[in-house]
A and B are shown apart, each in its own frame.
Chain A
Amino acid sequence: MTLEKQGAGGEGPSPSRDLRRYAALFASRTRVMTSSVMRDLMAITEHPEVISLAGGLPDTASFPPEEMARVMGQVAREDSARALQYGPTNGLASTREAIAQVMEWQGVGVDPGDVLVTTGGQQVIDLVCKALIDPGDVIVAEGPTYPGAVPTFSSYQADVVQVGMDGDGMKVDELEETLARLEAEGRRPKFIYTVPTFQNPAGVTMSLPRRRRLVEIAAERELIVLEDEPYSLLRYEGAPLPTLLELDGGRFVVHAGTFSKMLAPGLRLGWAIAPRPVMEKLVLGAQATTLCPSPFTQLFVSGYMASGQWGGYIDELREIYTGRRDAMLSALEAHFPPAATWTRPQGGLFVWATLPEFIDTTDLLARALAANVAFVPGRAAFVNGDGSSSMRLNFSASDPVTIEEGIRRIGVLVAEQIELYGAITGSFPAIPAQEAGPLADVVELPRRDEERRRQG
């Protein structure tokens, strides 16, 4: 206010001079903390007429408002003072017990005393970096990796090295080669970041043999594995697999969980389970950043879990998302050209589709936005510019009819791009169906012959 008044007099500091003054104060790490082009382009998806298959939003509309009112009323009546007060850094006992119960459902027995409650799963990624990463240290991640983890890694000035994936998740043989190469180069990996189940963005799940091998590798090399597990209860088919935490027995695995996808992201409640010495550092880090996770939302979650409604809600979410996933897979089959491939997730929120390599999905997004549909360009999931012909498609946030229409629109654009590329090269080549790429476990879909001719 004072500044504005001074400015009105024409003698105050001007905004851009101020900016230069601040620029000299910024830490060197802010040089890599950039807002991405894609994020800016995504701003257009805010418009209501845009069908967004871009975000990772769960369907919070399916949570009964009366249930929310009931639990909030209960917290207000029975625990008002505690809900409004600071709490312990590692979380309230009742919430840690609820989390231990969730872990039990995932097959892992956990002592509630070993749980750190956090502000969302994202904080676990941040805390692990804070505890382990010095500038220049290496984090090994899947390629593609969770796009939201990249800025966190960058803000600690880590070097991110990505390891390829296929339908069985991270290629552990490639991981071993990578670790050996890093060792030969004298570079020091601190942890391996993985989303083993229904991976974001690839949608694939790490196989049991690879899970076993991964924890062996971690133990052999004494490296931490950060297991980010937001989706595991959102399984629509197939048998659950043991977590890395369970397989490792809690020696080298830090497990990150969250209520964001299994309940609601607005709660901002997640958790970490870690080997004790690591946990001590995580707790100190958490204390320094948030003091404590919100007691209010912790009491909401533990109150809701105690009501016994949660299992039913998870079942409902599974049913809704199964229908949406199926709608997306059928729409892809109907509207994407034979040259495209995509994954077929057994759970989670995302499908990863890959187009002919001459199509750049960041550029395609510009066309897609003009057609009122959006997706996440694959490049967002890589640190080195790879993924340029892939895209992440979300099916949890839209109803089946909308999904079908969104995929249809993208399919039309892709077909146009293929045709235009043919016109540019003058070859009008029959684009062959891609060979089963590493991240295409459903390339064997039946195709209609006339569709092939039309595309060719």
Chain B
Amino acid sequence: MSGGLNVAVLKGGRSLERQVSLASGDRVEEALARLGHAPTGIDVGTDLVPRLAELSPDLVFIALHGRDGEDGSLQELLETLDLPYTGSSPAACARAWDKQVTKELLDAEGIGTPRALSFSETALREFGGSQALARVGEKLGFPVVVKPCRQGSALGVRFASGADELPEALLSAFSYSDRALIEEFIPGRELAVPVFRGVALPVVEARPTEDRFYDFEARYTIGSAVLSCPAELDEETAATARETAERTVELLGLRSFARVDMLLDERDGVPKVLEADAIPGLTDTSLLPQSIEAAGIGFDEFVGQAVEEALAAA
């Protein structure tokens, strides 16, 4: 334990995941206090830089989800201010935040990921891109999953079972991001593999109790999804899932902790990576904390190690 550090815990903010972030931040603060540090929670707003200047922390713990914390802007700012921070670098965050960028890198590396097409608002508004939408069916087949390119927590994610459902699904996705991803539908189990210090933790499986997929509501509500950790997988599949997660994190350059979401394709048994999350949820019901527990690490120890790693990286 480093002992007695002055730690700013950034949480809240203006993103759509504000509530989740406040819960994550509170939990981190409690853990830091138990570890003997002096945490100060900061609900991030336009006064962030002056508040950091006033506090002059030894370290910044980023518990800010969504665009505010995960697209790399905040990390860039902290680099400029010479403040050590937890988690990944600005460029790594930016790569993970953009699902299309992630996908291209995964493809190039030969890591399985659902086939997808991406569309920008610009292409549709200014280049007559709507005619290209007609090719979605022949290239991907229906149903497809339509999602914002840059948004966490499954907000704006829709299914389209046919071409007629594409426009509304796209409109939904564009409410959260100026680019949308249209992805082939992969039938299979939903897995999440947290990676901590380059090593994959036990695999978590999320099984929705009612909804068709693990959506925003299910992610943060006790009882609306059944989480099992470690997931009931045969040894080989679990090992493949963990290896896939480790390779993904390394490929994107993510540091310290992250979470890789994937679908276990029931057709070929191969895990297909959906996205990597640079600041995964740290709430009571979040996946990463459950996996940490299953690994026998404990949340406090995790927070302590994340802090030490951030100091070492600075």
Given that A31-B223, A36-B217 are contacting pairs, would A426 and B290 also be in contact in the complex, using a CB cutoff of 8 Å?
no
Contact of B175 among A31, A43, A364 (CB under 8 A): A364
Contact of B167 among A40, A47, A419, A421 (CB under 8 A): A421
**Residues A44 and B14 in contact, CB atoms below 8 Å apart:** yes
A8 CB-CB contact with B under 8 Å: yes
Residue pairs across A and B with CB atoms within 8 Å: the count is 111
**Residues A37 and B130 in contact, CB atoms below 8 Å apart:** no
**Chain B 139-186 residues near chain A, CB threshold 8 A:** 155-156, 166-168, 170-172, 174-176
* CB closest chain-B residue, reference A368: B175
Q: CA of A26 to CA of B222 in the docked complex: distance in angstroms?
A: 10
Chain B contact residue count (CB 8 A cutoff): 50
Given that A43-B19, A360-B171 are contacting pairs, would A16 and B284 also be in contact in the complex, using a CB cutoff of 8 Å?
yes
* A30: chain B residues within 8 A (beta carbon): 222-223
Contact string against A for B residues 262-298, beta-carbon threshold 8 Å, 1 for contact and 0 otherwise: 0000000000000000000000110001100100001
Contact of A14 among B22, B128, B300 (CB under 8 A): B300
B137 CB-CB contact with A under 8 Å: no
B18 CB-CB contact with A under 8 Å: yes
B131 CB-CB contact with A under 8 Å: yes
A424 CB-CB contact with B under 8 Å: yes
Q: CA of A364 to CA of B223 in the docked complex: distance in angstroms?
A: 28
Interface segment among B28-36, B71-79, B100-108, B231-239: the answer is B28-36
Q: How large is the interface on A (under 10, 10 to 19, 20 to 34, 35 or more residues)?
A: 35 or more
**Residues B172 and A360 in contact, CB atoms below 8 Å apart:** yes
**Residues B284 and A15 in contact, CB atoms below 8 Å apart:** yes
B221 CB-CB contact with A under 8 Å: yes
Q: CA of A17 to CA of B296 in the docked complex: distance in angstroms?
A: 11
B243 CB-CB contact with A under 8 Å: no
Contact of A366 among B22, B176, B289 (CB under 8 A): B176
**Residues A363 and B130 in contact, CB atoms below 8 Å apart:** no
**Residues B171 and A426 in contact, CB atoms below 8 Å apart:** no
B309 CB-CB contact with A under 8 Å: no
Leading 10 A-B pairs by shortest Cβ distance? A426-B130, A363-B175, A40-B19, A7-B34, A423-B124, A31-B223, A19-B284, A424-B167, A8-B34, A34-B221
Q: Which residues of B approach A to under 8 Å, CB–CB?
A: 14, 16, 18-20, 22, 27, 30-31, 33-36, 45, 121, 124-125, 128-131, 133, 155-156, 166-168, 170-172, 174-176, 209, 216-217, 220-224, 284-285, 289-290, 293, 298-301
Apart from A19-B285, A47-B45: 10 A-B pairs, beta carbons within 8 A:
A10-B300, A15-B284, A34-B217, A34-B223, A40-B18, A360-B171, A366-B155, A420-B174, A421-B167, A424-B170
